Amino acid sequence: MISKQKLTRANLPEGAEDPISSAVVARDVSTLDMVAEAVKHNHTMLAFQPVMQALPPHETAFYEGYMRVLDATGRVIPARDFMHVVYDKEIGRELDCLALQHGLRALSNSPRIRLSINMSARSIGYRRWTKVLENFLKKDKNIGERLVLEITEASAMDAPELVIDFMDRMQKYGIAFALDNFGAGTTAIGHFREFFFDAVKVDGQFIRGICSNLDNQAVTRALVGIAKQFDMLVVAESVETQAEAEFLVSIGVDCLQGFLYGAPTVSPPWLEEMKERNRA
């Protein structure tokens, strides 16, 4: 069995490379190269997951679009496998632009849906990203009313004044804003009052297995209470069982999202639903 001591740099000969660190660096470089190639050849797309109304008629409130890239073999790679590597780099901003562009095109092609797209505070200061948004808003003055922009707590608190100013400017277009990973970050209540969030998405770490975890139940109740105090829609992420869904409805959650209602898919679900209705 390999001890922890044998894995530390302190026990390596002078000048020797830490094999674990080297492996991590090599993996990250490989990931960056893969993403760069995907962006270069426009091998990117969105995967869509429904966000369901918690109360009858239990219809789809909106869909969330998740960024995907294709690797050299054509495999679809989810954002969790590359976003942490590209988040603070130029390529990360390019992916933000592509995600927004894919999302707005979907809204333009399907005027009956609402769609949420992830963004970061870094996106606001990236001219190409704002240009993509401006161009679509000019083409269709109503498209903003069906767009939800999601920003994580951590990103919002990186530059709260910048985010607040951007949200204020977007009010006239009807764009909605959702605070993602609610509860996982460090949003100060003082700033919370100043933001223009229409919805919060309770972080999945508090939702998974909530029926058997009293601590998570208490935290989620508190988060729901805070959101309701500020008149925000409450979405629970990572809902996987019917029992979880029923508990969340009982404490006032408005919308539910998770594998119970479908995994993210690159085939737009609304098109499949339309085909089924036509067949019926």
Q: Does residue 101 sit within a domain?
A: yes
Provide the b/e sequence for 38-60 (b: ≥16 CB within 10 Å).
Answer: bbeeebbbbbbbbbbebeeeeeb
Cα–Cα distance for residue pair 225/253, rounded to 1 Å = 10
Q: Does residue 102 sit within a domain?
A: yes
CB 166, CB 177: distance < 8 Å: no
Mean pLDDT, range 208-225, rounded to an integer: 97
Q: Does residue 41 sit within a domain?
A: yes
Cα–Cα distance for residue pair 14/9, rounded to 1 Å = 9
31: nearest Cα among 82, 101, 68: 82
With a cut of 80, say whether residue 12 has pLDDT above it: no
In total, how many domains does the chain have? 1
Mean pLDDT, range 240-267, rounded to an integer: 97
pLDDT digits (tens, 9 = 90+) for 166-185: 999 999 999 999 999 999 87
Mean pLDDT, range 87-107, rounded to an integer: 95
pLDDT digits (tens, 9 = 90+) for 116-166: 999 999 999 999 999 999 999 999 999 999 999 999 888 888 888 999 999
Q: Does residue 213 sit within a domain?
A: yes
Cβ-Cβ contacts under 8 Å for 147 (sequence gap 6 or more): 103, 104, 107, 114, 115, 116, 117, 175, 176
SS3 45: strand
Domain that holds residue 139: 19-279
With a cut of 80, say whether residue 105 has pLDDT above it: yes
SS3 129: helix
Q: Does residue 250 sit within a domain?
A: yes
- State residue 2's pLDDT score: 41
With a cut of 90, say whether residue 280 has pLDDT above it: no
Cα–Cα distance for residue pair 87/81, rounded to 1 Å = 12
- Phi then psi for residue 268, to 5 deg, are -50, 115
pLDDT digits (tens, 9 = 90+) for 17-55: 555 555 555 667 899 999 999 999 999 999 999 999 999
Please classify residue 174 by burial: count the beta carbons closer than 10 Å to its beta carbon, then call 0-12 exposed, 13-18 middle and 19+ buried.
middle
Q: Does residue 2 sit within a domain?
A: no
Q: Does residue 7 sit within a domain?
A: no
Q: Does residue 10 sit within a domain?
A: no
With a cut of 70, say whether residue 102 has pLDDT above it: yes
What DSSP letter does each residue of 190-251 carry, written as one string? HHHTTS--SEEEE-GGGTTTGGG-HHHHHHHHHHHHHHHHTT-EEEE----SHHHHHHHHHT
CB 64, CB 150: distance < 8 Å: yes
Cα–Cα distance for residue pair 94/198, rounded to 1 Å = 26
CATH number, domain with residue 56: 3.20.20.450
With a cut of 80, say whether residue 60 has pLDDT above it: yes
Cα–Cα distance for residue pair 131/128, rounded to 1 Å = 5
